[in-house]
Amino acid sequence: MANMTLKRNVMPTQDAQVRARNFDEVALGYDEQTAIDEANRCLNCKTKPCVTGCPVNIHIPEFIQKIKEGDFEGAYQIINRSSSLPAVCGRVCPQETQCESKCVRGIKGESVGIGRLERFVADWHNTFSTEQPVAPAPNGHKVAIVGSGPSGLTCAGDLAKLGYAVTVFEALHTAGGVLVYGIPEFRLPKAIVAREVETLKSLGVKIETNVVIGKTLTVDELFDMGYEAVFIGSGAGLPNFMGIPGEGLCGVYSANEFLTRSNLMKGYRADADTPMMKGGRVAVVGGGNVAMDAARTALRLGADKVYIVYRRSMEELPARREEVEHAEEEGIEFCLLCNPTEILGYQNPNDPRDPKNGFVRGMRCVRMELGEPDAKGRRRPVEIPNSAFEMEVDTVIMSIGTSPNPLIKSTTGGLEVNSRGGIIVNEDGLTSRTAVYAGGDAVTGAATVISAMGAGKTAARAIDEYLNR
């Protein structure tokens, strides 16, 4: 019997005041009863619009049907056919703009909580299932994957399921890419990423950490080593800075550095070897999901006050609504229509050896207003004359995007990139080089985990067709 309640089941979360000071996961997940109740809101409609909204085309109504029946492992197996990282996607996908935005129930009332159900199913499987993934019979072909982020892991998983001998080369010391260095523990626990990586390993995927493709080995050498196709999922690269005075001061971080210190290098723990600035007043410049992650991390590290400084208004702010709401609940202050023009440093005029010399003491900003829409249709922010003011802060975190990593491009002959440095690919993910495929942020610039996974999936299909011609 369908559950016709207009509102979806609420996701239980840690109390905002409590969670703002710990790194435990914010959302706690549905229990079995709530999951079945929510699943019963799905009308199992014939047209399945939700599936078209999913970049990896998960068979959504089918897995929800299994939840209704109480067959949670069955539900997992259906998701697993399309996604190699369900516990990750259930947490970090922007479902509200993808599958859930197409849901018929959303026309009158709230859409089915598809993401929450996906997360429930994956967590149930990880907790209770005894099913071991079985490596299929090898098909005799070798494929190399560059980077172990979402696109690389997806591509590796899909190819391994088809019997390919897959090796993933990772530059850092831990597999997972942005899932381990970028997305914080409270949004995506690292144990979950490690578990998904272990699942891939039991499918036969080999992971070689500490290998930088473009330095330790080149793409051409991978072919010499017998790999027949290469997928490049090397991710976004160097962080962008604004080019304003003071960005070289102590206490100015890129979001990448700040998050890497906290997440990958475990800087959030008191006993960590890797230092980072904690406490004080923090300004995060930018309005994306990464900015929200940085701001909420700063808060949990003990900041007295955290600001998001964004030059447009809340309407244009690109981060997920849920992340913005969580940030606001936790006490992060949004300084909107506000643009930094200079980061101010401390200099003691009487003591050149003052340890505070060279550290951030504040940030000068101007107020903005929205003018005419730009090429992308977003209204362009314009400076309001004579509106300059100073914010008193100790740490500034720049979260204004990244530019693709130059290492692979500069060492791979014939690999074409666009004017922004992104690798050029066709609809199958094929680059300008035969048998070299690419996807994820290395192609698109900073985007979402699921779009990277979609690209990894597309490339896996194309690589399979290419090698089985």
Partner 1 sequence: MYRIVEKKILSPTVVQLQIEAPLVANKAKPGQFIILRVDEEGERIPLTVAGTDRAAGTVKIIYQIVGATTEKLSHKGAGEYLQDFVGPLGEPTHLDGLKKVCIVGGGVGCAIALPIAEALHDLGADVTSIIGFRNRDLLILEDEFKAASKSLVVMTDDGSYGRQGNVTLPLKEMLEDGEQFDMIITIGPLIMMKFVVATAKPYGTPVTVSMNPIMIDGTGMCGGCRLTLNVDGKKVTKFACVDGPDFNGYEVDFDEAMARGRMYYGFERHAHEAACNLYKKEVQ
Q: Which region, judged by CB under 8 A, interacts with partner 1, from 99-107, 249-257, 333-341, 416-424?
A: 249-257
Among 235, 288, 439, 454, contact with partner 1 (rule: CB under 8 A): 235
Distance, in Å, from the CA atom of 4 to the CA atom of 244, rounded to the nearest integer, reads 54
Q: What is the largest CA-CA distance in the chain?
A: 78
The answer to whether residue 263 forms part of the interface with partner 1 (CB under 8 A) is no
In whole angstroms, what is the distance from residue 54 CA to residue 436 CA? 25
Shortest reach from residue 209's CB to partner 1, in Å: 7
Q: Decide: 80 and 196 in contact? Cβ < 8 Å.
A: no
CA-based torsion, 118, 122, 123, 129: positive or negative: positive
In order, the DSSP letters of 57-79 are ---HHHHHHHHHTT-HHHHHHHH
Q: Which is nearer to partner 1, 215 or 321 (CB)?
A: 215
Which range of residues in 29-37, 84-92, 151-159, 264-272 is near partner 1 by CB under 8 A? 264-272
Site string for partner 1, 371-410 (x = CB under 8 A): ----------------------------------xxx---
Q: Rounded distance, CA 147 to CA 174, Å?
A: 11
Alpha-carbon gap, residue 263 to 244, rounded angstroms: 28
Which span sits near partner 1 by CB under 8 A: 28-36, 72-80, 265-273, 424-432?
Answer: 265-273
Q: What single letter denotes the amino acid at residue 77? A: Q
Q: Does 51 bind partner 1 (CB under 8 A)?
A: no
Q: What angle do CA 156, 238, 361 make, to 5 degrees?
A: 135
* Residue 353 CB partners (closer than 8 Å, separation 6+): none
CB atoms within 10 A of CB 268: 20
Nearer to partner 1, 113 or 422 (CB): 422
Shortest separation between residue 160's beta carbon and partner 1, angstroms:
24
Whichever of 206 and 461 has its CB closer to partner 1, that residue is 206
Selected range binding partner 1 among 183-191, 356-364, 365-373, 456-464, rule: CB under 8 A: 356-364
Residue type, 202: S
Amino acid, single-letter form, for residue 125: H
* Residue 275 near partner 1 by CB under 8 A: yes
> Should residue 340 be labelled a site residue for partner 1 when binding is judged by CB under 8 A?
no
- Segment 293-322, which members bind partner 1 (CB under 8 A)? none
Cβ proximity to partner 1: between 236 and 368 the closer is 236
How many Cβ atoms sit within 10 Å of the Cβ of residue 46? Answer: 6
**Can residue 238 be called a binding residue for partner 1 (CB under 8 A)?**
yes
Compute the Cα dihedral for 101, 106, 107, 109 and give only its sign.
negative
- Contact with partner 1 (CB under 8 A) among 1, 15, 127, 355: 355
The two tokens of residue 450 are: 């699921």
By rule CB under 8 A, what string of x and - marks binding of each residue 193-222 to partner 1? Answer: ----------------xxxx--xxx-----
| Contact positions vs partner 1 (CB under 8 A) | 171-173, 181, 209-212, 215-217, 235-239, 241, 243, 247-251, 253-254, 256-257, 260-261, 264-266, 271-275, 277, 355, 357-359, 405-407
